[in-house]
Amino acid sequence: MKMRAFAIRNAREILRDPMTLAFGIGFPLVLLFLLSAIQQNIPVPLFQIEHLAPGISVFGLSFMTLFSATIVSKDRSSAFLQRLYTTPMTPADFILGYTLPMLPMAVLQSVICYLAAMLLGLPCTVNVLYVLLFHIPSSVFFIALGLLFGSVLGEKQVGGICGALLTNLCAWLSGTWFDLSLVGGAFEKIAGVLPFLHAVEMERNALSGPMVSIFPHVWWVLGYAAAALGAAVCLFLRQMKRS
Amino acid sequence: MEAIQTKGLTKAYKDIVAVKELNLSVHTGELFSMLGVNGAGKTTAIKMLCCLTQPSAGDAFVNGKSILHDTAEVKKAIALSPQETAVAPGLTVRENLMLMGGVSGFSKAEQKEKADAMVKQFGFDAVIGKKAGKLSGGWQRRLSIAMALICEPEILFLDEPTLGLDVIARSELWDLIRSLKGKMTIVLTTHYMEEAEALSDRVGIMKNGQLLICDTLEGIMAAAGADNLEEAFIHLVKGAAE
């Protein structure tokens, strides 16, 4: 009951912020339609809808990090968390209360992205459902990253780190906007050990099939999701003790 | 049994002792004010009593339960209205009240019942559907206190409840706090002398993390040879510096 009440509150706070709709849904859709329009005029394999949609779907998750980090950071700075720490809520209530309501939002964001992609010519196959399933570990990674940043950064820093830096990192290192092999060298290697490229490749391969081609990308994403969640829990508990 | 009893309660940070060997008793049902200038250690003391900060030394007993060893039991007995107006800005007044009922473990029906009681007690009818973030400072403070009260605490901590409010809003909040007197133990921190004078049964004056004196208003004025609390406060605090 305690966790549920807190989770409902968090969902309401996020969904009632007009920026959620603008950045969480609007911006990725604009990019999807814009790049598809470019593709129609100057055909580039990278911007074919079956390549583009998974990239946009993962890119949209970077805004989930921003929303998650912002609410945690705001709650810390406004002493709202301090008030809640004097209630019988347990650390698990806090962590699940922040994380769980973001998951359906992240999946819904992806659903909207793929529905828009279908309007632009993406074949409607059962593989889209698999993609949504494999979208969950990526979602956990990005949401946990938000909890992690929100636990250590102030409101303004969250805007800079999650709003600017992470979205750019996710865009450049995911292979969505350009083929990473064109840059090559250290850039490509760094992208290969970070989760963004693997999250996109996992969705692309799940979409095109066969399903076995999602490996080893799925392991990278699951590993990063577990590590981010573990680090987020540790840092949240640390700031809870320090409050 | 005392509502609160501290025994050598101390909080030290790297280069500063925020609270030093605090020995204090707060009687059940009284309104106890902690007075002091900024940085006197009032808020740190409250944070320790609310289990928000671990003491460096000593212990405190809230309704007989140790803040070190029985934190879950202590949390069941207390509620805090923090110095900053800690409300959920995107939620309406009613939703904020229901939220606090929910995180305190009440059922949906109980949350609604308690929220309705708070609306009546605090006169929230006109603003019940308004988002908390859009309320005036005075209303936000009232909501902050109502959110603390909805979990029916035996001990209520009010940390600087009228800080930054205008004269009218402050007066209205004083009336509200007066109406709570006797129904629960209230610990209030403030640096407004007139606030402590208007509301308190007993007052403790802190400076540099230490409790200088703890007595009734009359007792403190007599000890300082002053006619009012402000004079007594200045005398005692300046005297301690010498």
**Min Cα–Cα distance to chain B from A88, Å:** 6
**Across B107-135, average pLDDT:** 92
Interface check A120 vs B, CB under 8 A: no
Which residues of chain A does B147 touch, with a Cβ-Cβ cutoff of 8 Å?
Answer: 83
| Contact (CB<8Å) A9/B95 | yes
| Contact (CB<8Å) B72/A241 | no
**Across B199-209, average pLDDT:** 93
**With 80 as the cut, is the pLDDT of residue B107 above it?**
yes
From its phi and psi, is residue A166 left (phi > 0), alpha (psi between -120 and 50) or beta?
alpha
Q: Which residue out of B11, B14, B52 would a mutagenesis test of the A interface target, given it has the greatest number of A Cβ atoms within 10 Å?
A: B52
Please, how many CA atoms are within 13 Å of residue A165, restricted to the half-sphere of its CB? 10
- What's the rounded Cα separation, in Å, for the pair A32 and A114? 10
Interface check B18 vs A, CB under 8 A: no
Residues B130-161: pLDDT tens digits? 999 999 988 998 899 899 989 889 999 999 88
In this structure, what DSSP letter does residue A88 have?
Answer: S
Residue A78's pLDDT is what? 87
Interface check A155 vs B, CB under 8 A: no
Interface check A83 vs B, CB under 8 A: yes
Residues B29-61: pLDDT tens digits? 999 999 988 889 998 999 999 999 999 999 999
| Contact (CB<8Å) B90/A17 | yes
Sheet holding B57-62, edge to edge: B17-26, B4-12, B57-62, B65-66
Residues A77-88: pLDDT tens digits? 888 999 999 998
**What is the dihedral angle through the alpha carbons of B115, B119, B121, B125, rounded to the nearest 10 degrees?**
-170
Q: In this structure, what token pair is assigned to residue A175?
A: 């292979």
Residue B122's pLDDT is what? 86
pTM of the predicted model as reported, rounded to 2 decimal places? 0.88
**Min Cα–Cα distance to chain B from A185, Å:** 47
Q: In this structure, what token pair is assigned to residue B88?
A: 């959920």
Interface A–B counts its CB contacts (< 8 A) at 84
Residues A153-207: pLDDT tens digits? 998 899 888 888 998 999 899 998 888 888 988 999 999 999 999 999 999 999 9
Residue A163's pLDDT is what? 80
Mean pLDDT of chain A: 92
Residue A243's pLDDT is what? 62
**Min Cα–Cα distance to chain A from B45, Å:** 13
* Neighbouring residues of A160: CB distance < 8 A, sequence distance ≥ 6: none
Handedness of CA B119, B77, B17, A150 (dihedral sign): negative
